[in-house]
Amino acid sequence: MAADDPVALAEIEMYGDLMIAAAATSRSKLPLDRIDTILHVERDPNRPRVPQQRVSDEDDTA
């Protein structure tokens, strides 16, 4: 049964937390540091916030 999937339930809970925080803010967007806090994400200040595009061997057409 899908309700027994702990990963899916955790993702749904995090999504709900984000929705609650977004509804409670007076800003048009949640600040990135607030999103990180809600999702329990720690960022390395030396790495970019946006992940680099991942290229796999399957994408190689040469």
For 28-43, write each residue's pLDDT tens digit.
888 888 888 888 888 7
- pLDDT class of 2 with cuts at 50, 70, 90: low
Q: Enumerate the domain spans of the chain.
A: 2-43
Please give the mean pLDDT across all residues of the chain. 78
Secondary structure in 3-state letters for the chain: CHHHCHHHHHHHHHHHHHHHHHHHCCCCCCCHHHHHHHCCCCCCCCCCCCCCCCCCHHHCCC
